[in-house]
Chains A and B, each alone.
Chain A
Amino acid sequence: MAPESSYRLRLLRNAVILLAGLTLASGCRKEQITVYRVPKENPTAFSPAPRAETAHSEEGTRSLPRLRWTLPAGWEEQAPSGMSVAGFLVRWADGKRAEVSVLPFPGEGASDLRLMVNIVREKAGLQPISSDELSKAVEPVAIGDVSAKLVDLTGATAAASESSQSRIVLAVLPKDGITWFFKLAGDGAVVSSQKSAFVNFLKTVTFEPGPGVAPNAGQVAEANAPASETTERPARPSWEVPAGWQEVPGSKELLAKFAVSDSEGKAEVTVSSFGGKAGGLAANVNRWRGQLGLSPLSPADAEKEASSLDVLGGKAMLVDMTGEKGGQTTRLTAVIVPREGQTWFYKLIGHASVAEREKAAFIKFVQSVRYPNA
């Protein structure tokens, strides 16, 4: 081979090697776990797009009416959770139970009963039902003095266990741009026994135009308010329980619940904790005012309602208000403790005289709290 042609071959070989190297080097990118350090970001929570309705809704034109009812025997009132505005628990033998909840859905979009029923049926792996079939399953019911629809979804829900079929009875009432769902759900036997009590309960429900929390207007406060928080339960702090307080089981949102009662009436103390600011002081003050039938205050005035309280390791805010709930004079004393990105709520609520008598013990209790990682 001539020296010139061997030089050319070498050139050619080098070019091929270069090409192969290039492709191999770049061919196996992005398939490994990588680790990198980045500067702390401001918590850029998703900021919703501004909506044209915002200004309109801030005026509170669609505020949620306040509900009043008569509690059937054996029903225990629960703290509202998730999207519900009221909740009740019925305990039965063998740990069986059923729950009643009241869920307002803003807008008429939720009033399509067939859609709602079919969502439930689909979840249970059942065929959707037609309008005809649905009309047969629907019975009229009175909610207060308004007529509404009641659907019994027996068999349309997956069995909680082999032996006990769960059952849902749902009453739906579209009213003033809000669709109200009254749901009785739980163990089949309990639901069957409580259905008539549920229907009677519905008759006692009245809607009062009130300053209650609007699902639309107060959406920011509501979305962050404790009632709708779904964070995991933080570790429970230690505390000294005052004499006469009795710990009782609470709903899953609560860290602890205590009951106090005497001949005049009863009161309860609840402890809960939520991530972040939990809606802020003003939103919570107005939420509580709403519960006591008091009109909401402007954010500035609401904050003036709070006084400062010394607790272990810092300052807390104390609010005290008296109003009316369930037809009796009710007093609410609450302490808000912001601490390491969490907000702790201590609430004493109940018959005015009992709550007044327990207030000192309540404050002492809050001041005795030692947090898990303090």
Chain B
Amino acid sequence: MLDRIAKIFSSLRLTVILLAAGLVLVFVGTLAQVHEGLYDAQTRYFKSWFVWMPTIAERRWPILLPGGYLIGTLLVVNLLSAHAKRFKFEKKKIGILLVHGGLILLLLGQLTTDMLQVETQMRLTEGESKNYSESGSHAELAVIDKSNPDSDIVVAVPERILSKKGEIRHPDLPFTIRVKDYFPNSEPQVRPPMADNEPPQATQGIAGRFRFEPVPPTVRMDERNIPSAIVEVTGAKGSLGSWALSSWATEEALLAYLQVDWNKQAGEGMGDRLVSQLSKPQEFEAAGRKFQIALRPARVYAPHRIQLIDFRHDKYRGTEIPKNFSSLIRLTNATTGEDREVKIYMNSPLRYAGATYYQASFDKFDPRVTVLQVVRNPGWLTPYFACGLVALGLVVQFLSHLIRFATKRRKA
């Protein structure tokens, strides 16, 4: 029995089937991005074990496809068991062994990257410093205990939990949060002063001036979903009120966009005023402690701090085509005592404490703002090693053939 399983796993037929399945998956998954959106399709087709009801030709079919993880894992198992079964050390085959070792490392490395890599962004205005970066695709409900004089305690609730609505309790919070409404995608609206007969979405905070209307989630590449939620906080003595929370009110890039948009729509100055009202922190008191509540991009904190000293965005003269961007930053780490300046520009990222900071983008509306991509990938070196191994294997293989051929000729 074990022998038979081992035989199947080590067969070349399985390799061929898996490669064919991989081909189909890549084809279907790529086309599905049109309908399901880049991020969602990648998660559903490639970062999964199985795909149920894939989209083929604009229709969802009730079939089960193997997911990217399944195909990858089986390929690794196939390769390993083939070697386990037929392995016999021969000088002649060193090259082939190295190539296969490289392939296995590549597959494993890709799997770890896929599962462990965290990609976030850090948006900095000149002079500003941050010790955290923010997710571009996930939000979190942050409840911040502001009552300590020197530090804040943050209870971060992932968007996934929020989206299930229901009640949220946590031992560190002296109250219950009830998610009354959750909109995966939303649009902000100013409650016009001439239509103030409609009740606000929540009783406290910015809800008096703004509404967040649910809109259908987008799948387009150049758009993204901006979530909002309506939550009610209930303490020991009953309800403390309800709040309208939205990424629109916390994300700097969105606020910058709204400021420009509203200034255009309602007149210069109006946008500035509305945005300063929208971005106002929403606070309340419970059990004698002061809390702040917000829906914001999920944050990843680092032990070090990065301050933007200068952002340069050069264009080719007379055009709007960017020539290069560079961010001069100051890196400080209180634990190691480090304090140095680093220039980050295209193809020259900063690698520090397991994270890589790339120059990624800029703000269309504010020339003082840089956007750094922060990638934490414990497996970032594996593709380099893997490719090195494959290259070395190929060189060894060709050279050994060449040498054998040359010596044969000389003999003849």
Contact = CB atoms under 8 A, between A and B. Distances in A.
B264 interface: yes
A57 interface: yes
B209 interface: yes
Contacts, number: 191
A35 B273 contact: no
A82 B193 contact: yes
A222 interface: yes
A36 to B, nearest CB: 6
Nearest to B117: A26
Interface in B213-268: 252, 255-256, 259-260, 263-268
A37 B154 contact: yes
Contact of B194 (A26, A30, A170): A170
A84 interface: yes
A107 B84 contact: no
Interface string A214-246: 011001001110001010100000000000000
Contacts of A119: 192, 194-195
A47 interface: yes
B111 A46 contact: no
Nearest to B282: A232
A8 B198 CA distance: 73
Contacts of A223: 272-273, 276-277
A36 B170 CA distance: 13
A181 interface: yes
A34 B269 contact: no
Interface string B276-309: 1101110000000000000000000100000000
B151 interface: yes
Contact of A123 (B87, B172, B195): B195
Given A49-B259, A49-B365, A170-B194, A12 B273 contact: no
A37 B131 CA distance: 13
B6 interface: yes
Among A19, A110, A183, residue most surrounded by chain B Cβ atoms (within 10 Å)? A19
B158 A22 contact: no
Interface residues of A, number: 71
A37 B267 contact: no
Interface in A306-364: none
A160 B259 contact: no
Given A48-B272, A106-B270, A9 B195 contact: no
A194 interface: no
Interface in B147-200: 148-158, 160-161, 168, 170, 172, 192-198
A33 B156 contact: yes
B161 A33 contact: yes
A106 B266 CA distance: 7
A314 B23 CA distance: 76
The size bracket of the interface on B is 35 or more
Contacts of B397: none
B269 A215 contact: yes
B64 interface: no
A38 interface: yes
A166 interface: yes
A30 B208 CA distance: 33
A229 to B, nearest CB: 9
Interface string A25-43: 0110011111111111101
Contact of A110 (B73, B111, B196, B266): B266
Contacts of B204: 232
A5 B7 CA distance: 12
A22 B148 CA distance: 39
A205 interface: no
B394 interface: no
B116 A26 contact: yes
A110 B274 CA distance: 15
Contacts of B194: 103, 116, 119-120, 168, 170, 181, 183, 185
A107 B77 contact: no
B84 A40 contact: no
Interface of B: 2-3, 6, 9, 69, 73, 76-77, 80-81, 84-85, 87, 108, 111-112, 115-116, 125, 128, 131-132, 138, 148-158, 160-161, 168, 170, 172, 192-198, 204-206, 208-209, 252, 255-256, 259-260, 263-270, 272-273, 275-277, 279-281, 301, 363, 365-366, 368
Given A31-B158, A44-B128, 18 more contacts: A1-B3, A12-B6, A15-B80, A33-B155, A37-B152, A37-B154, A49-B256, A49-B260, A51-B272, A105-B267, A107-B267, A109-B266, A110-B266, A116-B192, A157-B197, A183-B193, A216-B269, A224-B276
For the complex of A and B, the 6 pairs showing the least CB-CB separation, nearest first, are A107-B267, A26-B115, A106-B267, A216-B269, A49-B366, A46-B279
